[in-house]
Structure 1
Amino acid sequence: MMHSLPEKPLHQLLAEMLPEFGVSHLFGVVGDANLFLVRHYRSEQLGRYIACTHEANAVLAALGFAQASGRTGVATITHGPALTNAVTALAEGAKGGIPLVVLCGDTAPGDTQHLQKIDQKPIIEATGATLVEMRSPETAIADLERAFAIATHRHTTVVFNMRVDLQWSNAARHASLSPCIPAVRMAAAAPAEIEDAVGMLASARHPLILAGRGATDPQARDAIVRLAHRVEAPLATTLKAQGLFEGEAFNVGLCGGLSHPTAIDVIMRSDCIVAFGASLSKHTTEEGAYTQGKRVIQVLPDAEDNPRLDRPTLRLIGDLAETADAMTGLLDAAEIPGSQATSPYLAERLAGEAASFDRLPELRETAPGTLDIDYALRRLHQALPVERVLAADLGRFVTTAWRNLPVKRPQDLVYSCHFGAIGCGLGEALGAAVATTDRPTVLAVGDGGFQLSGLSELSTIIREKLDLVILLCNDGSYGAEHVQLTRRGMSTDISMIDTADFAATASAMGMDAVRVSDTASLEAACDAIARRNGPLLIDIRLDPEKIEP
């Protein structure tokens, strides 16, 4: 016979269940439909609550936290305009396949004159997020468990819709029942498909092993490296798996538009690519140029549909580590020799690429009061700790930032560009900085995206004393629009932004800040990085005519 614990208001019971689902950090903005849940979470010290100034940034912060920590992010917002404020952030999470649960209030069905009433279901579903309704006080815990299970297992954004009239109902949980999100473990791909893949690898003279974000589990990483050693193939990663093969002798780095010359040569010469946990999007394959005419074997951990998926020669579905080890075992059993694609010549070229990156690039001439973006970011790379997290907003500066500010581990790259929206970087950097305590978080952001993010969120960053360095790439323009107008020989006036003194603004709010407009002030910024004891903003003035599209 199951015994129930004493009844209490449902909002209290929901708050008390969060730690049992592994929630240690809750990002949010309070309103009447989530106020008392958050109050109980804080007053009972059930975890750390990070109060944001805007609902979009609360959800984005949870996305950044999820990426940096490898856990499910959790945010809470109220109903109506709070939900509409967060629509872009919800779409970003859904498109990115990031595990996230948003505890979202909702108005009572009969309260037709409530000013904030809106039909929330179609709004949530339009973003691509999954809606889970809190059906009743009796089912609330099971409903919440379902929300966390979907977010965790499907790697997606889930909105848990909590009617405010139900939250004051009394509810109890059964003493013997504990929430459980079971682990899912798959087997290797089908034996026949593994045999086909090994047959392709065996006949390859220049194989290449590629890993994406789905392959960053340590067991998968080690199994993929064993396979690469066995077939004597170079290793590469997608952008979102950057740093996965750090320290491997034949790691050629990124595959895609950010590949260095030696990597491009290796990719183009390859005749068989085995891609683990990578969607093979157009950004990784350079619109198909890197895979054309080659045999491509794609190994994925699930069969979920993904609009970024390209069609490979052969697709295997199974546990990545088990599948890689099964391929290695079959190669051994058949006594297939290595390809000799890893050679001393390749090692020498890769060493040359590393040495070249360690040097500052040539300082290009720019307009007075501005600095060359490549030179500035590479110098700041040298000044920043090697171990760091990088979050980057979207803009024409972003590829330059990714190229010049590399990270050493996949979880140290926070990607905020899944929906093609500027303004997502600041919120995600905030969440990443909360999640990361052993290294600084660096945000590369444009002036347009920085203002769209909401300058008020700097107050959250300052209040939380986050180790966050903001590199503001300030060219006084909306870059993508500036590029399009320039290419058509049109006036760029409409793309220009009146340049604000962001350093003065940040200083007035209580944040350390430096304005960079020449090499001397750049060195002052490097000194400020070394001396920082809290968040720091570096306003880098750039020439809008001298930034690559």
Structure 2
Amino acid sequence: MKVHQAIAHALHDNGVRDLFGLIGDANLYFSDSFVRDCNGQFISSANEDGATLMALGYTVATGKLGCCSVTHGAALTNTLTALTHGTKARTPMLLLCGDTAVADHENFQNTPQRDHVLATGAGFEQLRTPETAAIDIATAIRRAWTERRPIVLNIPVEFQWLDVDYAPVVWRKPEMRTIVPESEDLDNAIGIIAAARRPLVLAGRGAIDEDAAAAILRFAKRLEAPVATTLQAKDLFADDNCNLGIFGTLSQDVAIEQILEADCVIAFGASLNPFTMSQGAFAKDKRIVQIDIDAAQFGRFLQTDASVLGDAGRTADLFTHWLNEAEIPGCGWRGDELATTLATARAAVISIDPQDSDPIDMPRAIKICNAALPADRVLVTDGGRFLGEPWKNFRVSHPRNFTITLAFGSIGLGMGYAIGTAVGRPGEPVVHLTGDGGFVLGGLTEFNTAVRHGLNFTTIVCNDGAYGAEHIQFRRKNMDPTLSTFEWPDFAKVADALGGKGFRVTTCGELRHALDASKNATVPVLIDLILDPDNMPEFP
């Protein structure tokens, strides 16, 4: 077969069924072959950055490798923000990019693609010869998973129509769960846990699968300790009556009180970054045990008292086993008194009762969304000042139904993630929460992509008519914030013009109506929340 066909078959043989991208003369043939010869789905984006974000979102939403295809030159440089974000987020993804012919040195799309890619922190892999196409694709896939970052496979355009004998080369992802061996690290961790009087058990994104979560909760109950989660593992223990909720700068007041009383934190699958540790305040006067399957996390942000390399669930069960063997009593912290304190605080947080005539604001909006949207919704959040309230109080049924897109601190990345999520999890309700600036920067260009591909999800624009983070900085210094404010077009009408369905919302009743209408919509829905830039909750 031709090389472009071999590339398509190699993707299919490695389990790829959905390919995001934007075609050009260096990638159109293998993208076409992926659809025609391999029965794959090609999701055509409006911008290469959007396509790359879609592939990243697909990986996060499905646990399968997101793949993207772009041509050379400016197409590749358009992906650099997404590649940098994916690298910082440590998300595996495969980007196949064409490259100009080596002999065509003066091609106006020629650029040092390797240099661009490596500058983002992503990995670079060269398709070496036509004969090694299948091997090189399997290698790039292996690197994406094992290095936990995007890998770019560079494909010279002149290879595409050459003949090659194709033989499948498949890389299979190995079992990553490991049993913790006997070691000094394990002994130190058990000793610290046994000596603790006010231990707290923390779970991060690396501990959200069902087996791990169940084992961690068993361990916490045996230890008689409360549980908490990082932001990225939010609502993992929502049904537990001694759940403190988010541990970090987004903690509720009652959780902060309990966290400060702890003398030990046992963290499973959590990086312990400055936001989780509240800029160091939550590490003070505590001994910290960190458990992770990725040794690169140890000492990355915080020096701990014991670091245990191993699977979260199996390590939690091992801790429980040794506590039982040594007959170590529970600490007594977890109990009716703590449960009552937490329940009372939760009731106070959700006590707001929005009336239909009330003007819309973030707390009321989140309360209404929680009640009106399907319980199994998948929440994808963009960047912006509006995030504090939804991150704290917008509920999800499981952390895998929650995605943040701020690893690079950029706004405008959420729409790509939402589309990737909707493609990877068809039929599930997806909610994309963005700001007005983020929507214009990155969401607007891809909204029609969702329309074209028949993706039915809801975008909620938190529209305060400003770049909110900059607006509040001007206000804090008693400066005129005009430079941060904008008179945007009517986003509801824009959504209609792009083939979706738009709603402009100024009251709680209008939001309820829009959410109700979104349940039966057959096209993407956009809900434009008109908010006051001087009445937005503080972002922690």
Query: What are the equivalent positions in structure 2 for 1:72-83 lying under 5 Å apart?
Result: 72-83=65-76
- Give me the identity figure in percent: 39
Q: Which SS does the other structure have where 1:323 is aligned?
A: helix
Q: Which residue is 2:95 aligned to?
A: 102
Q: Which residue is 2:217 aligned to?
A: 225
Q: Which residue is 2:328 aligned to?
A: 336
Aligned residues of 2:232 and 2:402 also touching (Cα < 8 A): yes
* Whole-angstrom distance in 2 between the partners of 1:185 and 1:210: 19
Q: Which SS does the other structure have where 1:546 is aligned?
A: coil
Post-superposition offset of 1:335: 0.6
Match of 2:128 among 135, 156, 165: 135
Aligned residues of 1:70 and 1:411 also touching (Cα < 8 A): no
Post-superposition offset of 1:307: 8.8
* Whole-angstrom distance in 2 between the partners of 1:306 and 1:487: 38
Query: What are the equivalent positions in structure 2 for 1:292-303 lying under 5 Å apart?
Result: 292-303=284-295
* Whole-angstrom distance in 2 between the partners of 1:243 and 1:174: 46
Q: Which residue is 1:33 aligned to?
A: 26
Post-superposition offset of 1:232: 1.1
Match of 1:20 among 13, 25, 43: 13
Post-superposition offset of 1:529: 3.1
Post-superposition offset of 1:223: 2.2
Within the alignment, does 1:452 sit opposite 2:473 as a pair?
no
* Whole-angstrom distance in 1 between the partners of 2:138 and 2:499: 41
* Whole-angstrom distance in 1 between the partners of 2:296 and 2:133: 28
* Whole-angstrom distance in 1 between the partners of 2:146 and 2:211: 18
Post-superposition offset of 1:84: 0.9
Aligned residues of 2:196 and 2:263 also touching (Cα < 8 A): yes
Q: Which residue is 1:325 aligned to?
A: 317
Task: Tell me: CA distance 1:189–1:320, structure 2 relative to 1, closer, same or farther (3 Å).
Answer: farther
Further displaced range: 349-358 or 317-326: 349-358
Task: Tell me: CA distance 1:184–1:523, structure 2 relative to 1, closer, same or farther (3 Å).
Answer: closer
Match of 2:42 among 49, 53, 64: 49
Q: Which SS does the other structure have where 1:455 is aligned?
A: helix
Within the alignment, does 1:513 sit opposite 2:502 as a pair?
yes
* Whole-angstrom distance in 2 between the partners of 1:314 and 1:307: 10
Q: Which SS does the other structure have where 2:49 is aligned?
A: helix
Amino acid at match of 1:118: T
* Whole-angstrom distance in 2 between the partners of 1:279 and 1:337: 29
Further displaced range: 434-443 or 208-217: 434-443
After superposition, give the CA deviation of every residue in 1:456-490 in whole Å (9 maximum; x if it has no partner): 31111112222311110011111111111111111
* Whole-angstrom distance in 2 between the partners of 1:151 and 1:306: 21
Match of 2:60 among 61, 67, 71: 67
* Whole-angstrom distance in 2 between the partners of 1:51 and 1:338: 56
Aligned residues: 538
Q: Which residue is 1:4 aligned to?
A: none
After superposition, give the CA deviation of every residue in 1:363-408 in whole Å (9 maximum; x if it has no partner): 8x99xxx632221222122111111111111110012222232212
* Whole-angstrom distance in 2 between the partners of 1:206 and 1:476: 46
Within the alignment, does 1:206 sit opposite 2:198 as a pair?
yes
Task: Tell me: CA distance 1:81–1:264, structure 2 relative to 1, closer, same or farther (3 Å).
Answer: same
Post-superposition offset of 1:358: 4.4
Q: Which residue is 1:312 aligned to?
A: 304
Post-superposition offset of 1:306: 7.9
Q: Which residue is 1:276 aligned to?
A: 268
* Whole-angstrom distance in 2 between the partners of 1:404 and 1:249: 17
Aligned residues of 1:414 and 1:432 also touching (Cα < 8 A): no
Task: Tell me: CA distance 1:322–1:248, structure 2 relative to 1, closer, same or farther (3 Å).
Answer: same
Match of 2:422 among 389, 411, 433: 433
Q: Which SS does the other structure have where 2:307 is aligned?
A: strand
Match of 1:236 among 228, 242, 247: 228
Q: Which residue is 1:468 aligned to?
A: 457
* Whole-angstrom distance in 1 between the partners of 2:508 and 2:134: 58
Amino acid at match of 1:466: L
Q: Which residue is 1:258 aligned to?
A: 250
Structure 2 gap ranges (5+): none
Q: Which SS does the other structure have where 2:282 is aligned?
A: coil
Q: Which SS does the other structure have where 1:321 is aligned?
A: helix
* Whole-angstrom distance in 2 between the partners of 1:308 and 1:525: 44
Within the alignment, does 1:377 sit opposite 2:370 as a pair?
no
Alignment TM-score, normalising by the size of structure 1: 0.94
* Whole-angstrom distance in 1 between the partners of 2:39 and 2:5: 11
Post-superposition offset of 1:249: 3.2
Post-superposition offset of 1:152: 1.3
Task: Tell me: CA distance 1:475–1:437, structure 2 relative to 1, closer, same or farther (3 Å).
Answer: same
Q: Which SS does the other structure have where 1:116 is aligned?
A: coil
Q: Which residue is 2:338 aligned to?
A: 346
After superposition, give the CA deviation of every residue in 1:314-340 in whole Å (9 maximum; x if it has no partner): 222222233222211111111101111
Amino acid at match of 1:292: K
Aligned residues of 2:202 and 2:230 also touching (Cα < 8 A): yes
Aligned residues of 1:371 and 1:543 also touching (Cα < 8 A): no
Further displaced range: 334-343 or 462-471: 462-471
* Whole-angstrom distance in 2 between the partners of 1:356 and 1:260: 11
Q: Which SS does the other structure have where 1:298 is aligned?
A: strand
Post-superposition offset of 1:178: 4.3
Post-superposition offset of 1:210: 0.5
* Whole-angstrom distance in 1 between the partners of 2:395 and 2:119: 35
Aligned residues of 1:278 and 1:300 also touching (Cα < 8 A): yes
Aligned residues of 1:471 and 1:540 also touching (Cα < 8 A): yes
Post-superposition offset of 1:508: 1.6
Q: Which SS does the other structure have where 1:274 is aligned?
A: strand
* Whole-angstrom distance in 2 between the partners of 1:26 and 1:433: 13
Runs of 4+ in structure 1 over 4 Å off: 305-308
Amino acid at match of 1:233: A
* Whole-angstrom distance in 1 between the partners of 2:295 and 2:209: 18
Amino acid at match of 1:276: F
Task: Tell me: CA distance 1:178–1:372, structure 2 relative to 1, closer, same or farther (3 Å).
Answer: closer
Task: Tell me: CA distance 1:179–1:198, structure 2 relative to 1, closer, same or farther (3 Å).
Answer: closer
After superposition, give the CA deviation of every residue in 1:119-165 in whole Å (9 maximum; x if it has no partner): 00111011110111111112221111111111112221111111111
Output the aligned Cα RMSD: 2.0
* Whole-angstrom distance in 2 between the partners of 1:15 and 1:346: 57
Aligned residues of 2:27 and 2:71 also touching (Cα < 8 A): yes
Aligned residues of 1:504 and 1:513 also touching (Cα < 8 A): yes
* Whole-angstrom distance in 1 between the partners of 2:96 and 2:421: 20
Q: Which residue is 2:490 aligned to?
A: 501
Post-superposition offset of 1:429: 0.9
